[in-house]
């Protein structure tokens, strides 16, 4: 196994690799990785934030936020999961396997977060920090321009841009809400809306809630030119 993490509790690792679709097809298995995914997401946010804050004092709060957003988004976490060969070891239901779940970016990203959550419970925050530093270093380096130490324009986060606009114009932050949840467990799609003053600004669809809210923010930004006032 390519995972260079040593688990004292093998059950935690097994749970982190178990997708809901596998549990649905195996009555002897009762736990899937969604709770660990929830925990891992929060741990990653903290650890990446601390690493960026410690190593890059030259970056502003806005730059740090944008860089962190890019480092923990679905495409980047899926890349990390592929580095660890997680797809080869994920426990998936037959439907998910037939649909290519081992290479599905959303499933890989979710599993990576679950692995982080499990490792935090198994080994503690310092172990996770060491793991993140070694794995994320190259990604951080490629997102920061060495000469100027400025964050690449590629990582401007649309949700941050929409929030800045909303605060400047309405002294409120945008509200994101779930409109619809579609598809089977192994191929979920979420449709989110974003609103201010109860007026819909945009909608977006994604395989993860984070992707769907970003798509909604992008849709809102694309439409802002026609919103002279929100009423």
Q: Are 105 and 188 in contact (CB under 8 A)?
A: no
Provide the edge-to-edge strand list for the sheet that holds 199-206.
175-182, 189-196, 199-206
Q: Is 181 tagged catalytic?
A: no
Q: Is 37 tagged catalytic?
A: no
Please, which residues bridge with residue 176 across strands?
194
18: helix, coil or strand?
Answer: strand
Active-site residue (options: 41, 51, 110, 157):
41
Q: Are 179 and 192 in contact (CB under 8 A)?
A: yes
Active-site residue (options: 113, 122, 157, 219):
113
As to burial, measured by CB atoms within 10 angstroms (0-12 exposed, 13-18 middle, 19+ buried), residue 209 is middle
Dist CA 193 CA 154 (whole Å): 24
Residues annotated as catalytic (active site), given as ranges: 41, 113
């Amino acid at each position: 196994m390519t995972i260079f993490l040593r688990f004292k509790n093998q059950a935690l690792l097994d749970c982190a690799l178990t997708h809901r679709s596998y549990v649905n097809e195996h009555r002897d298995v009762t736990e899937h990785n969604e709770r660990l995914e929830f925990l891992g997401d929060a741990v990653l946010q903290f650890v990446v934030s601390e690493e960026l804050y410690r190593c890059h004092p030259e970056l502003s709060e806005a730059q740090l936020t944008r860089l962190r957003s890019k480092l923990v988004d679905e495409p980047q976490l899926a890349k990390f999961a592929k580095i660890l060969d997680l797809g080869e070891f994920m426990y998936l239901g037959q439907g998910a396997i037939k649909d290519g779940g081992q290479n599905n970016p959303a499933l890989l990203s979710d599993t990576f977060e679950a692995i982080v959550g499990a490792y935090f419970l198994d080994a503690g925050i310092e172990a996770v920090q060491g793991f993140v530093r070694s794995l994320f270093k190259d990604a951080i380096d490629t997102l920061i321009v060495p000469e100027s130490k400025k964050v690449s324009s590629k990582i401007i986060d649309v949700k941050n841009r929409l929030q800045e606009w909303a605060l400047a114009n309405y002294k409120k932050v945008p509200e994101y809400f779930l409109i619809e949840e579609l598809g089977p467990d192994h191929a979920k799609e979420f449709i989110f809306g974003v609103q201010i003053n109860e007026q819909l600004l945009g909608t977006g669809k994604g395989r993860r809630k984070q992707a769907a809210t970003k798509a909604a923010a992008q849709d809102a930004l694309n439409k802002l030119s026609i919103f002279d006032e929100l009423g």
